[in-house]
Amino acid sequence: MRLLRWFRISRDLVLESNVLLLVIGIIFLADVYIHIFVKLSTLESFEMGNYIVSLSAWMNWVRGFTLITYIFEAILGIRIARSPSLFAYAGYMLIGFILLIYLASIAISSIAFLDEFNLSVDMLLQKLWLGNRFDKVESLFECCGKTGVIDYLETIVNRTWSRESCCGMETCHGCREIIHATLRGIEKEIARDNIIVFVVLCIAMLIMLLHYKDAELADDPYESESSDDDDYKDDSEPSTLKYPGQQ
């Protein structure tokens, strides 16, 4: 108990932690933009959304909305640090708890469902191969066939590889491994971003909780002493949080 009394969280630290929260939210929101309009837009013709939900465009829009809420959480925390109130504090903790659950679910699913992810990628490649749409894959990744040039020699259907592929080169490799590595790399980036955001949010919420753990509801400083005014007193005035030791 003495250690907790000695280790007091200042209001400046609450403010700084939420400013950091705001900066990180903006940075990773920009990263979501890069995923949607740069990385995944090049793979749009592959129709990944039908097979790999975590890399679909709509899921990235959900991630963007989550980070916007994350930024709102940071702004709310900054406001609480400057002008504390019970309603804002309760909203901060509630929104933060919901965000923590969502961020953790994304990060855990990226690790726990690795086998399902690999199976989905294989199904995607099989659909592109059977639909004779592998030329886009080969030109984009500079590869040849699913496993190599031998795929064109063994197939019953008379196929010809894309001119933009590397099938005519001795060092040409198949597309399966490089596509798995590329999509898995994007998946890891998404998991990494959510883990970092999760940890920073946990720290900010812990700092907020430790700072206001002994706070009390402060009475309205402008409350009238007249009994007549008390009869007409508006009870809808917002409650504020009083710092420990504040008069």
**pLDDT beyond 80 at 170:** no
Question: Which structure tokens are listed for 215?
Answer: 């706070």
**pLDDT beyond 70 at 220:** no
What contacts 122, CB < 8 A, 6 or more positions away? 176
Which residue type, as a one-letter code, is found at position 50?
N
Quickly tell me which residue has 């995607």 as its tokens.
Answer: 124
3 state SS of 216: strand
**pLDDT, tens only, 87-115:** 888 899 999 999 998 888 877 776 777 77
Question: Which structure tokens are listed for 112?
Answer: 């726990």
Cβ contact 167:152 at 8 Å: yes
pTM of the model as a whole: 0.71
Residue 208: per-residue pLDDT = 86
Whole-angstrom CA distances from 51 to 111, 130, 235 are 17, 16, 55
**pLDDT, tens only, 182-194:** 888 878 888 888 8
3 state SS of 160: coil
Count of beta carbons in the 10 Å neighbourhood of residue 18:
24
Residue 97: per-residue pLDDT = 92
**pLDDT, tens only, 45-91:** 666 656 666 666 677 777 888 889 999 999 999 988 888 888 888 89
Among 244, 240, 242, CA closest to 87: 240
Report the C-alpha gap between 119 and 28 in whole angstroms: 28
Report the C-alpha gap between 21 and 80 in whole angstroms: 14
Residue 136: per-residue pLDDT = 82
Cβ contact 175:152 at 8 Å: no
Cβ contact 218:247 at 8 Å: no
Instruction: Kindly report which listed range (4-8, 102-106, 126-130, 198-202) carries the lowest average pLDDT score.
Output: 4-8
**pLDDT, tens only, 135-160:** 888 888 888 888 888 888 766 566 77
Element (H, E) at 218: strand 216-218
Residue 232: per-residue pLDDT = 44
Report the C-alpha gap between 215 and 202 in whole angstroms: 20
Report the C-alpha gap between 194 and 167 in whole angstroms: 39
Report the C-alpha gap between 101 and 119 in whole angstroms: 26
Residue 38: per-residue pLDDT = 65
Report the C-alpha gap between 221 and 241 in whole angstroms: 12
CA 177 to chain centre: 27
**pLDDT, tens only, 2-25:** 444 445 667 788 888 889 989 998
What is the end-to-end Cα distance of the chain in Å, rounded?
23
**pLDDT beyond 80 at 172:** yes
